[in-house]
A and B are shown apart, each in its own frame.
Chain A
């Protein structure tokens, strides 16, 4: 079968071919801009139906590998970030020297939408003006 090199990356072709090497003899070739895949049954002569099924299965595997390669490419930055964080966490807590060098002068983060407020702070009943036990309005707004 022929595989369009523009549609399927080489890694997808390798991935699909690798799945089939236990059942078939897989030969990859590049006669022109496309790739050619030759699958030969390892045991006995296959029927036409078996060959059709084999080619269909290979095409499905190729599509699956291409899709996985695309997802991996798109998520590469996230995967690298998570891995780096995991490795950083595995190094253990910071030492006193690390804490001493840490820059605490950075300003606290801004929260214009009030996302960091707790539920109680956000939904606290406003004090009634005629309630003598109510806290002054200024206190209710404080976090």
Chain B
């Protein structure tokens, strides 16, 4: 299992939700948000794949957050 922590001040919750919907077919996700961060636990076939999905998920959420700000 790989844990991805995205700070609430830097990533919007809506962006993360949209990113999770996009990557749902590639892994299973479990949310465990805390006060400061959005926390996503990622489970997939291999640790390498989990690491890659975590990276792509973070990039996707960041991209949507940035786009949401510039609108």
State yes or no: do A and B come from one complex: yes
**Known: A14-B69, A17-B66. Contact between A30 and B9, CB under 8 A?**
yes
Give the size category of B's interface with A: 10 to 19
What residue in chain B is nearest A40 (Cβ atoms)?
Answer: B55
| Consensus secondary structure, chain B interface | helix
What residue in chain A is nearest B37 (Cβ atoms)?
Answer: A29
CB-CB contacts below 8 Å: A90-119 with B:
none
| Consensus secondary structure, chain A interface | mixed
Could you list 28 A-B pairs, sorted by A, with CB under 8 Å? A10-B10, A14-B62, A14-B65, A14-B69, A15-B66, A17-B66, A18-B62, A18-B63, A18-B66, A21-B62, A21-B63, A25-B54, A25-B56, A25-B58, A25-B59, A26-B59, A26-B62, A27-B55, A28-B10, A28-B11, A28-B62, A29-B5, A29-B7, A30-B7, A30-B9, A35-B10, A40-B55, A42-B55
